[in-house]
Amino acid sequence: RASVCEHRRPFSSYAMPWISPAAAHAVHHRVRGSSRRLSAKVVAVAQGDGRAAKTKKTASKSKSTLASKSQSRLEKTRSAIAQALSGRKTQVVSKGSKDLLLSRATVARALSQSKLSSAKMKSKQKRVLLLDAIKVVRVRSARIARRPPRFNPKKVTKSWVKSLMALYTNGSSFLTEAEYSAMAKAAVTMQTEEGALAKLTLPESSAITIIGDTHGQYDDVVTILEAVGLPSSKNVVLFNGDIVDRGPKQIQLLSLVLALKLAFPGSVHVVRGNHETRTMNQFTERGFAEVVQQRFTESLWNNFCDYFDELPVMALISNSLVCVHGGLPQHVASGFHLSTLEHMGKVRSPDLAESEAADMYNELMWNDSSPENGFSPNQRGPDVKSFGPDVTLKFLKENDLSLVVRSHDVRHEGYEVEHDNRLVTVFSAPAYCGMANKAAFLRFAAKDMVDGTAVKDDNIFQFEARPLMTAKKVAVLRRRVRAFDKKHGVQRVH
């Protein structure tokens, strides 16, 4: 039976309902040949005498016949209407064995047009007649998202990215393994140009959005993109690690990030997190390796891992702030300048290598912040440390910076400002692993980095898990972003 979520969440120019793969399959095969005919032949609710209007396939039925329908059928229809009116998923058993979608709008229209209230009968009889009078409702044909054109690294455009997002949003469908493999290889070729330290300079009248851990929660990343818009020369987006592992749509999210990187190479950046490693992919519950190999092959997972190996572990933005997934390494105690990392080169498998450079890589991806000064032991393991406010201050002074942005830790509110306003932790996966945490992302304008970057309330944008983000809440979040851009002189590119 087709089961389609009625709630609409528009993205840009799209306004499509979410639909499960099973629903898409059912609707495609059952409605494809008859949707036009059914759409044109809506059975109206009975007028003054309470009978249903006739159609070519539905004969007129008397009141007594309608009232004598089985109680189970009436209860099923009553439940379906109640669910439809509350905006939940619904499925209706219509005439014969066909299962058709009862839309909320259709039910409301049928109720408003009904004249049963004027009929001289008891209220219970009216209810029975009304419920059973809706024989065949207008089918809201589920819009099966068309897959984007076959992947071509030279033809990844904004419209192609939108088509990919529509495919994922409306059916949880996938591209082919060959396309994902080609996408990963194209991203590897592009990523090799960056070193261990990514250096970004924001253009004038632009802003950057920093997204924390997302862990395969594709739908929540869509919430962020609905609010800030797709990347452009004036709208830079940085993913601060941990894109995969544990979440429900890991392949979809990573391929979206790759597509964004290929479509907007100068406006999308990714920092490596501890989950962008082979070890974590293999040993995490519902890890990325398991997810990929269940649907595709190990070869594809290795191609994705090759991309992870090329990612930088730190990003320097406009010589003002740095983004790192985990935290600062113990090398700060003896003096740690960014030039050291810049000239050190990449360590492609830090979780498997044994060297001083690999140890630094692992600390940058794993270390946590702490309110206690110095470096202290960490519950994550003997090789992981927690660093305090004095370490952050020393690092910032030596490198002439003003702020450290990190992720890696769940925060109940989605963020936390620490170390005397010198460090902020941002986490962008709401309801992570069944918890009740909110999520957040950060947004900084280019002109505010001239005299040093400080975290203020208007730099922080909180949001909730996708099922709780109604269209109204998404609109409020989008208005906040636009108000921020207007206040800070950010030019929007449509």
How many CB atoms are located within 10 Å of the residue 143 CB? Answer: 16
- Assigned token pair, 126: 């009216």
Cα(464)–Cα(466) distance, rounded to whole angstroms?
6
Cα(252)–Cα(257) distance, rounded to whole angstroms?
9
| DSSP of 166-195 | HHHHHH-----HHHHHHHHHHHHHHHTTS-
**Furthest-apart CA atoms within the chain: distance in Å:** 91
Q: Which helix (H) or strand (E) holds 104?
A: helix 104-113
Q: The dihedral of CA 191, 194, 199, 201: what is its sign?
A: negative
| DSSP of 126-170 | HHHHHHHH--SPPP----PPPPPSPP-GGG--HHHHHHHHHHHHH
- Assigned token pair, 32: 């494809």
- Assigned token pair, 425: 């932790």
Q: State the catalytic residues.
A: 275
Residue 346 CB burial class (10 angstroms; 0-12, 13-18, ≥19)? buried
Judge whether 341 and 356 are in contact, CB under 8 Å: no
Place of tokens 């005397």: 420
Distance between alpha carbon 242 and the CA centroid of its chain, in Å? 14
Judge whether 455 and 406 are in contact, CB under 8 Å: no
Q: The dihedral of CA 277, 278, 280, 286: what is its sign?
A: positive
Cα(97)–Cα(91) distance, rounded to whole angstroms?
12
